[in-house]
Structure 1
Amino acid sequence: MKHFAKIVALAVTLALPVAAQDAPQSTADGARAAASALEAASARLANASSAEDRIAALTETLHAYENGLNALRDGLRRVAIRKSTLMTTFNARAGEIGSLLATMQMMERTPPQLHMLHPSGPVGTLRAGILMADIAPALDAEAATLRAQLQELQDLEVLQNSAATTLEQGLQGAQSAREELSQALSNRTDLPLRFTEDPVAMSLLLSSSETLGAFASGLAQTIDSEIAEMDTDAWNRMGRLALPVTGEILRRFNEEDAAGTRRPGLVIATRPQAMVTSPIAATIRFVGPLLDMGVVVILEPAPNVLFIMAGLDQGFGTVGQIIPEDTPVGLMGGSTPDGDALLMQANQGNAQNLSETLYLEVREGQSAVDPAAWFALGQQ
């Protein structure tokens, strides 16, 4: 009868709420899907190298690598959190789980006909049988849950161990795609020109400008001769453009930073070596180092409208070129952590590594305007 009392007490304990599963299958499946995306990107890199429109293919491939790496980082972070949750649950319920295992082992060793015997006689035995009929499903369900969680923990461990190779290959593939894209853009000669630049006027402007606003205001003086008129639908797409880089907005238009400084643009946190692209078809007005702002790229998507992007490490293109939407215009700086470092970040619950910042300013005429008028910022 002692073991029957233990069963009753254990069943009551197991009826208490347990930690939620938090969609365990989606956690592991998401990481596996991200790893598959990286493998697919690797296959696309070979095709991109031989594609007729190589720049477009390489751009798409690098997007695939960046998205795949981001997804895998996030997936591994979720895996690490899920593992921690499971281990915390197991540790907190170690006594209950031990009692469950001990009780079930004892029940297996006890002849079935003795499970229901009660010292008070047939009536007690009947009541015990009814109670046992209610308890047994709870024990079976808890045992099944425990088995599933132990299997999940094992699967997550295997997934983490296999991720290092996938991450390393993905990082190498992304770097190869960046190098090939940079070379292809440097050799590009197929883009139309809207105007030619006066190098003397540009040199004077660079040496005399003390602020970004002053430089932007003087750009019109650097045109040597107009070649083509500007044909754009930018005004029709106001408020719906995607940001030029994937990341998180740290500060918005005229929002004060920790030092009390306000800037008429967006500060976007992004990952090292992230690709920066043109949000819309535009004319390149400037590419190069400027003041203390790193490499600056200035695009003109519509007459008297400038998109100014500062803080890049590399800039692509030639002043006067008309570039299509989503054309790479540069890369952010910084160094990408290796696979082991990324795994360590994921295990610590941090998969972001948004260590680089891009400054984005929009000017209409002589005035800076809120980029939210042009870009779909949502709740970022």
Structure 2
Amino acid sequence: MTLRALLLAIFFASRAVAQTDPATAALNAAQMLEQASVSLTEAESARDRVRALTETIQAYEAGLSAMRDGLRRAATREAQLTAELRSREKDVAQLLGVLQTIETTAPPVLMLHPSGPLGSARAGMMLSEVTPGLNAKAQSLARDLQEVRTLRLLQQSASETLVEGLTGVQNARTQLSTAIADRTDLPRRFVEDPIRTAILISSTETLDGFASGLSQISEGQIAETDADISSIKGQITLPTQGVILHRANETDAAGVKRPGIVLGTRPRAIVTSPTAATIRYRGPLLELGNLVILEPQPGLLFVFSGLQEVYGEAGQVIPRGTPVGLMPAESKEIGAILSTSGDGTGTDRSETLYIEVRQDNSPVDPESWFRTDKDG
């Protein structure tokens, strides 16, 4: 199976996981992580290692996300079943007592009745009517108890699976950094002058000022380009998976309005170029932290800030899907990863990526270019 086919299979599998029962969802996620491990081995010998490793990391991210969701659902389901069983303790005790009495009483005794043969016949008829109900209750109880045992065993083995998955994706990220550093096949439109870049950074106080002076950071002329992505305007995929926390010009918790959107992402999520583009700048800037500025066509800039690591070099022309950075992350214990306390609240998307789009050096609503499913 090729890496691209594997990634597509994992994508559709991850969507199917959400529709299955908790135990099956977690087991499917474990298989996804195993497939990602195989793709990591294949990526080591791939001709385009950057692309192969990027797809591998995305496969690991899908598997880890599905594993996390499956295990949380398993924990929730186990707690629900345990609570139900506790609330039915009296009924369960009575059921077990009746079943035990029927099972241990000798057949001849069962056939005797104080009222004689007629009473025995009536009792037998009543027992024949009650028995199916007792059997149904017993079978339901057995299923619930077996499900609890299965879910408990599943969670006990989850720690090892998660550790292996987290180790695998970390290895893939390390290899990706090396592969990007070794890449020499990308065309360049200009060579950055670090002194001019430092002067521009020190002389500007806003992103507006820095963006307007980007032409000053090259050693010579910037090669012209006729790139045009206007045909896909409004349909461009976001650079990483996430949920929109703030839209353009919405006031955030600190009372600040920004012309871009804030995307909540998972820790260490990979951020890729949504189109072919020129890297105009990458590195720290003002209070925005590490950022990447991409130019997909003349006069249009995509700004992604809030990254922990940034990839590539200014002046390089990169294809669509090229990794440009990784989101930050604080190390977490496996128990915290499995915790259900934040389930459904979005707390697993603890990092924020700020996305700003600038056209002719003026900010425009990013949702006019990116597909964000506004109605979803």
TM class by smaller structure: 0.7 to 0.9
1:248 aligns with 2:243: yes
TM-score (norm 1): 0.86
- Taking structure 1 as reference, are residues 120 and 297 closer, same or farther at Cα in structure 2, changes over 3 Å only? same
1:192 aligns with 2:204: no
TM-score (norm 2): 0.87
Q: CA deviation at 1:93?
A: 0.8
Residue 227 of structure 2 contacts residue 296 of structure 2 at CA under 8 Å; is this kept in 1? no
- The residue aligned with 1:16 is none
Residue 293 of structure 2 contacts residue 303 of structure 2 at CA under 8 Å; is this kept in 1? yes
- The residue aligned with 2:279 is 284
Give secondary structure in 1 for the equivalent of 2:213: helix
Q: CA deviation at 1:44?
A: 1.8
Taking the aligned partners of 1:71 and 1:319, their CA distance within structure 2 comes to 36
Residue 239 of structure 1 contacts residue 373 of structure 1 at CA under 8 Å; is this kept in 2? yes
1:204-261 deviations in whole A, cap 9, x for unaligned?
32112211222223224445313352334x2111222221122222111111112221
The farther-off stretch of 104-113 and 363-372 is 104-113
Q: CA deviation at 1:328?
A: 0.4
Equivalent runs, 1:1-380 vs 2, <5 Å? 26-111=21-106, 128-223=123-218, 224-232=220-228, 234-343=229-338, 345-346=339-340, 349=343, 353-378=348-373, 379=375
Taking the aligned partners of 1:298 and 1:171, their CA distance within structure 2 comes to 29
Give secondary structure in 2 for the equivalent of 1:287: strand
Aligned amino acid, residue 147 of structure 2: E
The farther-off stretch of 330-339 and 268-277 is 330-339
Aligned length in residues: 356
Give secondary structure in 1 for the equivalent of 2:90: helix
Residue 165 of structure 1 contacts residue 339 of structure 1 at CA under 8 Å; is this kept in 2? no
Aligned amino acid, residue 162 of structure 1: S
Aligned amino acid, residue 272 of structure 2: T
Q: CA deviation at 1:122?
A: 6.8
- Taking structure 1 as reference, are residues 192 and 116 closer, same or farther at Cα in structure 2, changes over 3 Å only? farther
- The residue aligned with 2:12 is none
Give secondary structure in 1 for the equivalent of 2:205: coil
Taking the aligned partners of 1:162 and 1:254, their CA distance within structure 2 comes to 46
Residue 292 of structure 2 contacts residue 305 of structure 2 at CA under 8 Å; is this kept in 1? yes
Residue 342 of structure 2 contacts residue 348 of structure 2 at CA under 8 Å; is this kept in 1? no
Give secondary structure in 2 for the equivalent of 1:195: coil
Residue 280 of structure 1 contacts residue 325 of structure 1 at CA under 8 Å; is this kept in 2? yes
- The residue aligned with 1:10 is none
Taking the aligned partners of 2:318 and 2:221, their CA distance within structure 1 comes to 19
Identity %: 48
Taking the aligned partners of 1:369 and 1:349, their CA distance within structure 2 comes to 34
> Structure 2 unaligned runs (5+)?
1-17
Give secondary structure in 2 for the equivalent of 1:276: strand
Q: CA deviation at 1:162?
A: 0.8
1:307-329 deviations in whole A, cap 9, x for unaligned?
10111111111112111111100
- RMSD value, Cα: 2.5
Aligned amino acid, residue 372 of structure 1: E
